[in-house]
Amino acid sequence: MRHDPAGASIVIMLRSLKLYGMANAVEDLVAQGAPAFEAATPMLSQLLKAEMAEREVRSIAYHTKVARFPAYKDLTGFDFASSEINEAKVRSYTGVSSSKTPRMSF
């Protein structure tokens, strides 16, 4: 039985993705010292890293949606004419006059 750090990292990634059958198959390939597997190790590692990143992005998007955070809104699209709200008073609270367009500064 051989010890291959790259193969071991692939096994760890497969298990973290809950692909246990594939992890067992990779362990067998590492133990056999299969040259085709050794040649494919860098590509397989990149694919697994991409899958882990994609799952993380999907997880964050799902949890953000489930949390129902309020959508960001600003005053640029608000129609003061159709409401009873005093535009000058609101703009004085925000520090933005009605003649100025708010800009972001970095």
Torsion (CA) 47, 48, 51, 53 in degrees, nearest 10: -110
Q: Which residue has the higher pLDDT, 69 or 19?
A: 19
3-class SS of residue 102: coil
CA distance linking residue 79 with residue 85, whole number of Å: 10
pLDDT above 90 (res 54) = yes
Per-residue pLDDT reduced to its tens digit, 1-11: 467 888 999 99
Q: Which residue's structure tokens are 């959508």?
A: 71
What predicted TM-score, i.e. pTM, was given to this entire model? 0.61
Per-residue pLDDT reduced to its tens digit, 84-105: 888 888 888 877 655 555 554 4
CA distance linking residue 64 with residue 89, whole number of Å: 34
Q: Checking phi first, is residue 3 left (phi over 0); if not, alpha (psi -120 to 50) or beta?
A: beta
Per-residue pLDDT reduced to its tens digit, 4-44: 888 999 999 999 999 999 999 999 999 998 899 999 999 99
Q: Which residue's structure tokens are 């597997």?
A: 37
